[in-house]
Amino acid sequence: MNFEKYSAYPPVEIAGRTWPDKTITKAPVWCSVDLRDGNQALPVPMSVDEKVAMFQLLVSVGFKEIEVGFPSASATEFAFVRRLIEKKLIPADVTIQVLTQSREHLIRKTFDAISGADNAIVHLYNSTSTLQRDVVFRKNRDEIRAIAIEGTALVRRLKEKNGNPGIRLEYSPESFTGTELDYALEVCHAVMDTWGASEEDNIILNLPSTVEMSQPNIYADRIEWFCRNIKRRDAVLISVHTHNDRGTAVAAAEFAVMAGADRVEGALFGNGERCGNMDIVVMALNLFSQGVDPKLDFSDLPRIREVYRKCTRMDIHPRHPYAGELVYTAFSGSHQDAISKGMKANFNSNGGLWAVPYLPIDPRDVGCNYEAIVRINSQSGKGGMAYILETDYGIQVPKWMQPDFAEAVQGVADRTGVELSPSQIHDLFHSEYVTLKEPILLKKCHITWDDMDPELNQEEATSLSCVMLKDEKEFSFEAKGNGPLDAFAKGFVNTSGIEFSVEEYAEHAIGHSAGAPAIAYIKIGTADGRIAFGAGIDSNISLASIKATVSALNRLP
């Protein structure tokens, strides 16, 4: 890899930069470029119907400025803009934006496309970068500046001829990050002068990293320098349009807002040419996660993903921030344990601030549920399995039993090499503990209480009679104890000769209704050091505890 063929991007000479000390306290003006920049990067561009569906999605999310296309570039783009206008599909509070190069015939066709629109932004651009001036256009600084001036003057004349005060100008010195700062400022000043920009009739100056060429902090330095040196700051809205060639488009846009930018252009899920545009979903939800109203509604991300996939034929990576299938999921045992504890603590916090380890936002806020937070494979631990059983099935496996079940789950995961679904984990719990019938089977069990006065709290007031099978041989016994479990243990030991003691015990109802079944968990031990765990389920808690004991006896090594 010949790294010597590349040179470092030059830093900005700026004294006393202020943006690193700033925080973002409100959302910028958002502009979606899905229908233009995102569309032109698709292997199969959207049809007019697909573009209408995408436009309606963007409106429902809350975008007030939407770049709908490059109408002078193709018949489909032109037809789409005309449909929006003629079918009155543009809400009164939404402004469409159309892109055009600074060329006369393209500008005129663009105005034909937006005829009849109440509000529209004409987005004019020409490339100003050193490389494109020298290699592509072979023009000097004055000639490139003249292109911007001529285009702006024509847009101004056509607006006046149109008589529509709802038409605004946006100008982009394309490849701003490849343009000398003083020259980019010079060209923008010329555009402002030609337009007659004022506080009452301001224009949008969009400063794109058409190709991301530097660390995001340097881009922020360029934006702060520009905001400091623009001659009429009140006459312009500073907009940024970052690309993701270095993987830092979101950071660059956030830093740019801290540096003074008023407006941000981007696309859903980072769609766009090469490595994509700045991901508006990520940046907006970054603000949301810091307690800032993003002014965009992503409360139903599953629906947004579905429309996006259908219209663009593009997929979303399972690790995509906020929107990916696996971003709220933990497979790691330690992460699962932390999430499980955090969820319980958060639900008990009486409306406090969200604070759950490994989950920067509540998945429910973006339309996701808790079912997939914890998923089980060979890397998972006891806490994850317990979380799934409790969350999905109401089975609260006690801590002292969780390692035993985890070993069983990991054994299956190791053998199969695949993820286990919640239903598979539930079925495994039942097969391991609840439905065991060999070598011991409880056929019948009758319980009576001899204590007529509960206040006396007499010992051995519970009588029990059982019929059982062991190795297909039937036997029965009667016994007394201070409860059903004590009576069963005494009777079984005396009859079978298998001695054991109860070391741990827990029980609870599965659900909250009066008729909810009960589940009992037990840990038994023998004199020679063997231990076993069992579980039993029954509508009668006493029978559930006896079934759990039989389960543990069947699992004795």
DSSP code string of 303-371: HHHHHHHHHH-----TTSTTTSTTTT-B-SHHHHHHHHHHHHHHHTSSS----BTTBSS-GGGGT--ST
Q: What is the C-alpha to C-alpha distance for residues 249 and 242, in angstroms, rounded to an integer?
A: 5
Q: What is the C-alpha to C-alpha distance for residues 252 and 257, in angstroms, rounded to an integer?
A: 9
Q: Which domain holds residue 424?
A: 333-431
Q: What mean pLDDT do residues 2-30 have? A: 95
Same domain, 405 and 456: no
Same domain, 445 and 426: no
Same domain, 45 and 118: yes
Q: What is the C-alpha to C-alpha distance for residues 222 and 208, in angstroms, rounded to an integer?
A: 11
pLDDT at position 123 over 90: yes
> How many CA atoms lie within 13 Å of 382's alpha carbon, on the beta-carbon side?
12
Q: What is the pLDDT of residue 433?
A: 95
365, two tokens: 């806020």
Residue 247: which pLDDT band, with cuts at 50, 70 and 90?
Answer: very high
346 within domain boundaries: yes
Same domain, 444 and 384: no
Same domain, 89 and 214: yes
Residue tagged 């409790």 (tokens): 390
Domain boundary among 411, 431, 451: 431
Percent of the chain topping pLDDT 90 = 77
pLDDT at position 96 over 90: yes
107 within domain boundaries: yes
- Between CA 294 and CA 300, with CA 295 as vertex, the angle to 5 degrees is 85
Averaged confidence pLDDT in the chain: 92
451, two tokens: 């204590």
Q: Kindly calculate the radius of gyration of the chain based on its CA atoms and give it in whole angstroms.
A: 35
Same domain, 226 and 369: no
Tell me the sheet residues that pair with 466: 445, 477
Same domain, 417 and 446: no
Q: Are 348 and 357 in contact (CB under 8 A)?
A: no
Q: What is the pLDDT of residue 332?
A: 78
Q: What is the pLDDT of residue 452?
A: 57
Cα 225 versus chain centre, distance: 34
Domain boundary among 283, 312, 341: 312
Q: Looking at residue 196, which CATH number applies to its domain?
A: 3.20.20.70
Q: Looking at residue 469, which CATH number applies to its domain?
A: 3.30.160.270
Q: What is the pLDDT of residue 418?
A: 85
Same domain, 402 and 507: no
Q: What mean pLDDT do residues 177-205 have? A: 96
Q: What is the pLDDT of residue 137?
A: 86
321 within domain boundaries: no
Residue 124: which pLDDT band, with cuts at 50, 70 and 90?
Answer: very high
Give the model confidence (pLDDT) of 34-92 as tens digits. 999 999 999 999 999 999 999 999 999 999 999 999 999 999 999 999 999 999 999 99
Residue 373: which pLDDT band, with cuts at 50, 70 and 90?
Answer: confident
How many independent structural domains does the chain possess? 3
Give the model confidence (pLDDT) of 143-174 as tens digits. 999 999 999 999 999 999 988 999 999 999 99
Same domain, 257 and 380: no
In single-letter form, the type of residue at position 84 comes to L
Q: What is the C-alpha to C-alpha distance for residues 306 and 285, in angstroms, rounded to an integer?
A: 18
1 within domain boundaries: no
Q: What is the C-alpha to C-alpha distance for residues 255 and 116, in angstroms, rounded to an integer?
A: 38
Residue tagged 């690309």 (tokens): 243
Q: What is the pLDDT of residue 453?
A: 61
Q: Where are the beta strands (DSSP E) in 175-252?
A: 203-209, 236-242
Q: What is the pLDDT of residue 451?
A: 60
Q: What is the pLDDT of residue 455?
A: 59
Q: What is the C-alpha to C-alpha distance for residues 87 and 14, in angstroms, rounded to an integer?
A: 50
Q: What is the C-alpha to C-alpha distance for residues 522 and 550, in angstroms, rounded to an integer?
A: 10
pLDDT at position 525 over 90: yes
Same domain, 504 and 401: no
Q: Are 363 and 371 in contact (CB under 8 A)?
A: no
Residue of higher predicted confidence among 549 and 326 = 549
Closest among 214, 348, 355, 364 to 300, alpha carbons compared: 364
31, two tokens: 């502009």
Report the first-to-last Cα separation within the chain, whole angstroms.
Answer: 60
283 within domain boundaries: yes
Q: Are 95 and 122 in contact (CB under 8 A)?
A: no
Same domain, 413 and 507: no
Give the model confidence (pLDDT) of 311-370 as tens digits. 999 999 999 999 998 898 888 778 888 888 888 887 766 567 899 998 999 999 999 887
Q: Are 278 and 252 in contact (CB under 8 A)?
A: yes
pTM of the model: 0.82
442, two tokens: 């409880």
User: CA torsion angle for 252, 253, 254, 260 (degrees, to 10)?
Assistant: 110
Q: What is the C-alpha to C-alpha distance for residues 103 and 396, in angstroms, rounded to an integer?
A: 70
In single-letter form, the type of residue at position 141 comes to R
15 within domain boundaries: no
Domain boundary among 389, 410, 431: 431
pLDDT at position 454 over 60: no
135 within domain boundaries: yes
Phi, psi (rounded to 5 degrees) for 110: -60, -40
Q: What is the C-alpha to C-alpha distance for residues 207 and 242, in angstroms, rounded to an integer?
A: 9
Spatial neighbors of 500 by CB under 8 A, at least 6 apart, are 489, 493, 524, 525, 526, 552, 553, 556
Q: What mean pLDDT do residues 89-113 have? A: 97
Integer angstrom CA distances of residue 347 from 25, 291, 338, 434, 473: 28, 19, 14, 30, 51
Residue 141: which pLDDT band, with cuts at 50, 70 and 90?
Answer: very high
Residue 459: which pLDDT band, with cuts at 50, 70 and 90?
Answer: low
Residue 456: which pLDDT band, with cuts at 50, 70 and 90?
Answer: low
Spatial neighbors of 218 by CB under 8 A, at least 6 apart, are 9, 11, 12
546, two tokens: 């006896």
Same domain, 228 and 349: no
pLDDT at position 515 over 90: no
Q: What mean pLDDT do residues 494-502 have? A: 90
5 within domain boundaries: no
Residue tagged 């409100």 (tokens): 26
